[in-house]
């Protein structure tokens, strides 16, 4: 088992200047830091990335990068994410702009691949993209980008799978979550659209991969092919892919809601069954917003993750864990975390009380 934590560049730089901060992190048994090097507005300062890499190397931490490539809700209150030439926002079935994640375009992939080469030059060995790397929002119907350009690209690529007179309206009935009542042609169209959307995320992962920088993706809680996420296809395209398992339940209210701990476990196990090698799987042990998940509930969450068999505990993130009690909890429970092995499977969950971990 290894404990990782996500931290912004500024957090690390400030922490290095704060007496006792690095010792507190190290004493909590955090061994690695994922530092934010890219977000939807572009990469951060290469000078600062290099500075943070040097600080963490000297302090003895393993270093990886985390990036937010397509748009993340925090701090964004406009649906217009057109920050780069050749990038564009997604549009829904009614041609309205959709928040939270952009469309994936060739130029977006080109721009992000440049950043991967920058990470290679700086000696950062891995990048895990956050869960805005998708083409649909949480739950819901089959999604994607329904702008005119994307529809035209789809019609050209899947000509044999779409009916005559294809239009946006042809897709409206087939993208519903429940396929009941669809005829054979509609089912074929549904599958073709889902494949088209999933190919975009898979292509992002394949085409941004650079030798010497291991590529990774966080899969949104309950994320699947509806959202453009085909885990098996991503593994096929990027055989050494890193995965973070989306878990939701970031605060006490959600975490303590009856049934939610089991739902968290079920989501994790379903994804892990597709992700393969457990050594490349990371948790999403998130506290959000600041202090919203108490240290005791974070302890319980980590125990659930360990009983699912997750080897890399990934705290997200240090900025929202500014109470020393979190780090005391990690220190005091480290040996128990380490000794805990996989107990849960999708077939045996009725045997457990998830409230007493």
Distance of CA 202 to the CA centre of its chain: 14
Is the distance from CB of 198 to CB of 224 less than 8 angstroms? no
Hey, what domains does the chain have and what are their CATH numbers? 2-356 (3.20.20.80)
How many whole angstroms separate alpha carbon 98 and alpha carbon 102?
8
- Pairing of the two strands 89-91 and 97-102: antiparallel
The predicted structure's pLDDT at residue 41: 66
CA-based R_g, the chain, Å: 21
For the beta carbon of residue 239, count every other beta carbon within 10 angstroms: 9
DSSP string, 20-80: THHHHHHHTTEEEEEEEEEETTEE--HHHHHHHHHHHHHHT-EEEEEE--S--STT---S-
Which 8-state DSSP code applies to residue 174?
Answer: T
Is the distance from CB of 48 to CB of 9 less than 8 angstroms? yes
The predicted structure's pLDDT at residue 77: 44
The predicted structure's pLDDT at residue 18: 96
Rounded to two decimals, the pTM is 0.95
Nearest to 146 by CA among 210, 75, 200: 200
Nearest to 219 by CA among 316, 104, 345, 131: 131
SS3 of 342, please? coil
**Positions in the chain whose pLDDT score sits under 70:** 41-43, 73-83
The predicted structure's pLDDT at residue 339: 98
The predicted structure's pLDDT at residue 287: 95
For the beta carbon of residue 46, count every other beta carbon within 10 angstroms: 14
Residue position matching structure tokens 């999403």: 284
Residue position matching structure tokens 């080109």: 110
* Residues 101, 104, 109, 110, Cα dihedral to 10°: -110
The predicted structure's pLDDT at residue 327: 98
């Amino acid at each position: 088992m290894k404990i990782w934590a996500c931290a912004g560049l500024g957090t690390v730089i400030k922490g290095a200047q704060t007496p006792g901060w690095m010792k507190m992190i190290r004493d909590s048994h955090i061994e690695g830091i994922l530092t934010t090097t890219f977000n939807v507005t572009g990469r951060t300062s290469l000078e600062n990335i290099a500075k943070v890499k040097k600080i963490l190397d000297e302090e003895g931490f393993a270093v990886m990068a985390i990036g937010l490539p397509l748009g993340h809700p925090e701090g964004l209150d406009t649906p217009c994410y057109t920050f780069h030439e050749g990038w564009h926002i997604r549009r829904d079935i009614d041609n309205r702009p959709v928040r939270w994640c952009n469309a994936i375009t060739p130029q977006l992939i080109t721009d992000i691949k440049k950043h991967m080469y920058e990470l290679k030059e700086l000696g950062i060995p891995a990048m895990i993209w956050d869960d805005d790397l998708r083409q649909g929002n949480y739950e819901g119907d089959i999604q994607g980008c329904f702008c005119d350009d994307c529809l035209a690209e789809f019609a050209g690529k899947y000509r044999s799978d779409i009916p005559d007179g294809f239009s946006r309206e042809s897709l409206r009935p087939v993208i519903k979550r429940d396929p009941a009542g669809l005829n054979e042609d509609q089912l074929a169209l549904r599958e073709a659209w889902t494949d088209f959307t999933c190919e975009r995320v898979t292509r992002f992962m394949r085409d941004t991969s650079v030798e010497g920088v291991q590529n990774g993706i966080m899969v949104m809680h309950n994320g699947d092919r509806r959202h453009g996420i085909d885990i098996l296809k991503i593994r096929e395209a990027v055989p050494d892919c890193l995965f973070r398992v989306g878990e939701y339940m970031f605060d006490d209210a959600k975490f303590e809601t009856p049934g939610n701990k089991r739902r968290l476990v079920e989501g994790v196990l379903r994804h892990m069954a597709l992700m393969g090698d457990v050594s490349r799987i990371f948790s999403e042990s998130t506290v959000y917003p600041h202090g919203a998940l108490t240290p005791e509930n974070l302890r319980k969450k980590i125990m659930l993750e360990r009983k699912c068999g997750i080897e890399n505990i990934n705290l997200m993130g240090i900025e929202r864990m500014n109470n020393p009690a979190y780090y005391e909890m990690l220190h005091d429970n480290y040996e128990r975390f380490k000794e805990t092995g996989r107990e849960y499977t999708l077939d045996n969950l009725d045997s457990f009380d998830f409230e007493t971990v």
